[in-house]
Chain A
Amino acid sequence: MAWSIHTYANPTRFMNFSAIVLPYVWALAGAGIGIGLYLSFFVAPPDYQQGDSVRIMFVHVPSAWLSQFGYGIMVVSSIVALIFRHPLADVAAKSAAPIGAVFTFLALVAGGLWGKPMWGTYWVWDARTTSTLVLLFIYLGYMALWAMIEDPNRAARVAAVLAIVGAVNLPIIRFSVDWWNTLHQPASVFRLDGPTIHSSLLWPLFVVALGFTFFFIGVLMVRMRAEILRRKVRTLQMQQAAA
């Protein structure tokens, strides 16, 4: 059979494939986070303005990136689920939501702990922080929809619509720091004229981010495996109740 995107869209194939790759994903996540922690504290220098407080960046920034990465996965999977009815697409969307919510939460908490010494306050209704808080609420609303609607097929459709509508928040978060001149600093890594962070802080940041990303993929695969089995349990229960 020729390889296509459908190759891994089959739940049985996904179960086999994920069982094989998961140990490697966890190993890469552990290595990235372990080496990243070492770099964060023993290699990265204190910032010339912010001193050691800049180390909070190594939690805050990767978490913030993954909060949007997770939502990106949810939106793409939701579109695929609605249009192509892929058997795995809504499993992926549902499984990504709690992971994205956790990283949004961590981005906000680490941001607050960085804000206190640098801005003088844990929280400010700044454009970036407010739109990120909205992202957290969208994640929670999405998860609540799945929890409330019992039929997985119906829940998948309703939740997919919410995920796609909520995607308008992503560019708002991205450009909030340019559109509104408020407290949160503008982009300093992904910008057209190149990063403005010194390379001694930038490369440890990428190592932590890579570790966090593999952690995200690992948890996503575990949750997708659990979700596939949950649906199998549901089918078996209905078969046995009917028999």
Chain B
Amino acid sequence: MDSWTEFFNMGGYGPYIWSSFLIAIAVMTGLALQSWMDLKKQKRLVSELEARAERKRS
């Protein structure tokens, strides 16, 4: 067996190990992205509302 196959096999525990790490990376990335997109959305809403208030005043 070459060393990479051996590495991915992880002594037979590969499927458990790789899925736990991949799920963690996917879920954490998803959480960070969702949080960041919500922040962008709120920033956009604030600037839209402020622009509308500005137009009304003038």
Contact = CB atoms under 8 A, between A and B. Distances in A.
Chain A interface bracket (under 10, 10 to 19, 20 to 34, 35 or more): 35 or more
Given A55-B17, A106-B24, A109-B23, A222 B49 contact: no
A103 B56 CA distance: 46
Interface string A46-59: 10000111011001
B20 A219 contact: no
A106 B19 CA distance: 11
Given A229-B46, A236-B50, A219 B11 contact: no
Nearest to B19: A113
Given A51-B11, A222-B36, A56 B45 contact: no
A116 B17 CA distance: 11
Given A237-B49, A240-B53, A114 B42 contact: no
A215 B49 contact: no
B38 A223 contact: yes
A226 B49 contact: no
B39 A226 contact: yes
A233 B45 contact: yes
Interface in A104-163: 105-106, 109-110, 113-114, 116-117
Interface of B: 7, 10-13, 16-17, 19-21, 23-24, 27-28, 31-32, 35-36, 38-39, 41-43, 45-46, 49-50, 52-53, 56
Interface of A: 37, 40-41, 46, 51-53, 55-56, 59-60, 63, 98-99, 102, 105-106, 109-110, 113-114, 116-117, 215, 218-219, 222-223, 225-226, 229-230, 232-233, 236-237, 239-240, 243
